Structure 1
Amino acid sequence: MLMEYITYNMKILVISNMYPSDEYKMYGTFVKKTTQAMEQNNELKKIVMTKKKNKIAKLLSYFIFYLKIINFYLLKDYDLVYIHYPSHVSFIFNKLLKLKSQRLIINVHGTDIVAEKGIELAMRKYTERIMKKAEKVVVPSMFFKDYIVKNYNLGESKIYIYPSGGVNSLIFKQPAEIKGKQEIYSYISRIDNGKGWDTYVKAISYIKMSYPKDFKRLTFKIIGSGSKSNVMMKLLEELSLLDDVIIIDSQPQEYLAKIIHESKFVVFPSELKESLGLVGLESLACGTPLISTGSGGISSYLVDEYNGFRFTVGDEIHLANKIISASKLTKENYSKMVESSILTSKDYLDINVDEYLIKTIMEC
């Protein structure tokens, strides 16, 4: 990897209100990936927040977070400040820049720029100001580059695409021994609003009623947990599917890779404007095609009938029919889709995208 031979020792201040902890290891992992890529060649100071259990702890954490930002920004000197999720610090940073000029790179991740409610929407005008002051704006996908150009009046030349640290190529890769895959269709995502788990469950119910013979030869899995887990279980019970769907709690990446390898398709029915949809890319890297909405950043890499199938957001019947079509692919056509999946993922592997991030920083 070329990045290993780059020596450019910059002092960089990294700021983020999301970062993993021992208790919440998956919270803000993409921020950690980006930070690790920069640490190989630069001297970093991190001002970050980890997830808190209650509102009081969260408020206290934000108070300390802002005090640290003011202190280190004004009293220390850095070659560059790299900010993740600018909406939560844009107000204060617009003030600080009046006191002390500084080269900035802003890294947006999706919800901070497309939100229709909450603090992200309230802070939008400040976020737009700080993005215009930044030397570069980093986005996770082409979808968000186009969105920012259209909605934030930024020129394309200052926007760079860096897919959230990329796919872990040591874990998510084509298996050494390729075996014939069973008819397993796996939903891998959080069980939260907008993730499409309900559309997937209803699609399974539709298949059971409308394609009973096909239903018997298919296996359905749900891997994940979240705020709507209990609601999901009730829906499965109402639709008499408790004995027909394998439920697995959230798992570490190594186990997820195993599940993806065993699956014929990964179902990713998100209704949200996903920043990238990393689980989709992880699936493709393993040689497992997708059945997905292509919402948000997913549209950057999912091509219908090339590396998977696309269906209409929230349409369980359309999803059910796509699953049936996928199950009836010839061996030759499925093999082509597997090859296309692996080929698509190469541009998103960590060993390739990290080099691009370093070059982006060096040019700043």
Structure 2
Amino acid sequence: MKVYLVSNMYPNSKYPSFGVFVKNFEEAIRKEGVEIVESSLIKGRKAGLARIWAYLVFFVEVIWKSNRGDFDLIYVHYMQHSLIPLNFWKRRKDKKLVLNAHGTDILGTGKLASKIRRFNSKLIKSADLVVVPSEFFVSKIKNLGVSKEKIYISPSGGINDQVFYPILPKKTDSGKIGYFGRLDPGKGLETLLKAFIEIQKSISLKLDIIGGGSLENSLHSFCQENNLLESVQFFGPLSQANSAKIIRNWDLAVFPSQLEESLGLVGIEAMACGVPVIGSRIGGIPTYLRDGINGFLFEQGNHNELVEKIVEYYQLGEDERSIMAENAVKTSQAYRSNKVTNELIEKLKSLN
């Protein structure tokens, strides 16, 4: 099977976590014998004129390669901006189109996002398969006019269990909690820091923050203004391997998103490291996070409830914490990359 891979998000050395699941997906299907004969990718974050130029080059390249390339299937990650140039693809029946939704690419609000969805509407409906990360997302895709039999659930390439794995025996009281992901609006970082201010009044903890984004400077300023810099460490964007080394030493990972996350793979990656997760009760997060079993759920944006959940964890006995960590690892096993990838490849082969 020859594949043409298209995505407007892909990591580079400066932004190693930007669209990293696309890179993971690419490496995983190559490992299983799928031939990627062409790719069109925007690597790393862009801004200003660099962003405009990157998209112009991307659009021209996709139009050219889609109409000239020798492939069996076009696989598109992020079915919003990535799909625009494919509206100019002179499609043939022997070439399949597979779309992979990730979240904000179809849940984006505002006039521009709505216009792009309308522009892409015919292409979305005509796709041979639409891949979504969780059961939560099925209804969102159906609302775009895609029939249920064309929708397939596959969790964003899964997790690399050669990178994300636990330390055994797991230490359950390091005094560290952490956040792993983009530092962008909607991710709930403000909620986390407000909760951390309150929690410091009763429990002495350290907070690690891994990731980069548009809020990085303002979050630093907030910590400085509230005398948190001795307790909060910003690591910036790290590779998955370096992130995992830090995560394995946390008692808890906090995933405070206020967005309707399609799945929230970072939460599962933390679980694979033997770290229970406290996550928002929104989007795809509750599809794998079980309150009191492998972590805790709280109402998005409610920093007081987040404080309560952190306190609840530290009130557990050592055996109870160990069981919660073991449950977290067990949950992550269903999302192993090789398992997820093999199942997806079999689905793709069935399209022929």
Partner Cα distance (1:49, 1:240) in 2? 39
Tell me whether 1:38 sits opposite 2:29 in the alignment.
yes
For each residue in 1:263-292, what CA deviation from the matched residue of structure 2 results, as whole angstroms up to 9, or x when unmatched?
A: 111111111122322210111111110111
Q: Cα 1:120–1:360, aligned 2, differ >3 Å: closer, same or farther?
A: farther
User: TM-score, normalization: structure 2?
Assistant: 0.91
For each residue in 1:222-253, what CA deviation from the matched residue of structure 2 results, as whole angstroms up to 9, or x when unmatched?
A: 33332222222222233333333334333322
Report the CA distance between 1:95 and its aligned residue: 4.0
Select 1:18's aligned residue among 9, 24, 36.
9
Q: Cα 1:72–1:319, aligned 2, differ >3 Å: closer, same or farther?
A: same
Runs of 4+ off more than 4 Å: none
Q: Cα 1:272–1:14, aligned 2, differ >3 Å: closer, same or farther?
A: same
Select 2:192's aligned residue among 174, 178, 200.
200
Tell me whether 1:126 sits opposite 2:114 in the alignment.
no
Aligned to 1:170: 162
Q: Cα 1:103–1:339, aligned 2, differ >3 Å: closer, same or farther?
A: same
Select 1:347's aligned residue among 331, 334, 338.
334
User: TM-score, normalization: structure 1?
Assistant: 0.88
Aligned to 2:53: 60
SS in 2 for 1:309: strand
Q: Cα 1:120–1:240, aligned 2, differ >3 Å: closer, same or farther?
A: same
Report the CA distance between 1:119 and its aligned residue: 4.0
Q: 1:155 corresponds to which letter in structure 2?
A: S
Tell me whether 1:215 sits opposite 2:203 in the alignment.
yes
For each residue in 1:284-339, what CA deviation from the matched residue of structure 2 results, as whole angstroms up to 9, or x when unmatched?
A: 11111011113322222111111111111111111111111111012232222112
* 8 A Cα contact 2:172 2:251, kept in partner: no
Select 1:136's aligned residue among 121, 129, 132.
129
Partner Cα distance (2:231, 2:259) in 1? 27
* 8 A Cα contact 2:60 2:85, kept in partner: no
Partner Cα distance (1:234, 1:344) in 2? 37
SS in 1 for 2:177: strand
* 8 A Cα contact 2:172 2:322, kept in partner: no
Aligned to 1:6: none
Greater helix content? 1
Q: 1:295 corresponds to which letter in structure 2?
A: I
Bigger drift between 271-280 and 22-31 goes to 22-31
Bigger drift between 325-334 and 18-27 goes to 18-27
Aligned to 1:106: 99
For each residue in 1:23-56, what CA deviation from the matched residue of structure 2 results, as whole angstroms up to 9, or x when unmatched?
A: 4332222112222233342332112222364432
SS in 1 for 2:289: coil
Select 2:281's aligned residue among 281, 291, 294.
294
Aligned to 1:183: 175
* 8 A Cα contact 2:15 2:45, kept in partner: no
Larger Rg: 1
Q: 2:139 corresponds to which letter in structure 1?
A: D
Partner Cα distance (1:263, 1:302) in 2? 17
Tell me whether 1:28 sits opposite 2:19 in the alignment.
yes
* 8 A Cα contact 2:186 2:258, kept in partner: yes
Partner Cα distance (1:325, 1:89) in 2? 43
Aligned to 2:232: 245
Unaligned 5+ runs, structure 1: 1-9
Report the CA distance between 1:105 and its aligned residue: 0.8
Tell me whether 1:161 sits opposite 2:153 in the alignment.
yes
Q: Cα 1:290–1:12, aligned 2, differ >3 Å: closer, same or farther?
A: same
The alignment's C-alpha RMSD in Å is 2.1
Q: Cα 1:91–1:219, aligned 2, differ >3 Å: closer, same or farther?
A: closer
Unaligned 5+ runs, structure 2: none
Aligned to 1:233: 220
* 8 A Cα contact 2:63 2:88, kept in partner: no
Tell me whether 1:317 sits opposite 2:308 in the alignment.
no
* 8 A Cα contact 2:174 2:250, kept in partner: yes
Q: Cα 1:119–1:89, aligned 2, differ >3 Å: closer, same or farther?
A: farther
Report the CA distance between 1:260 and its aligned residue: 1.9
SS in 2 for 1:168: coil
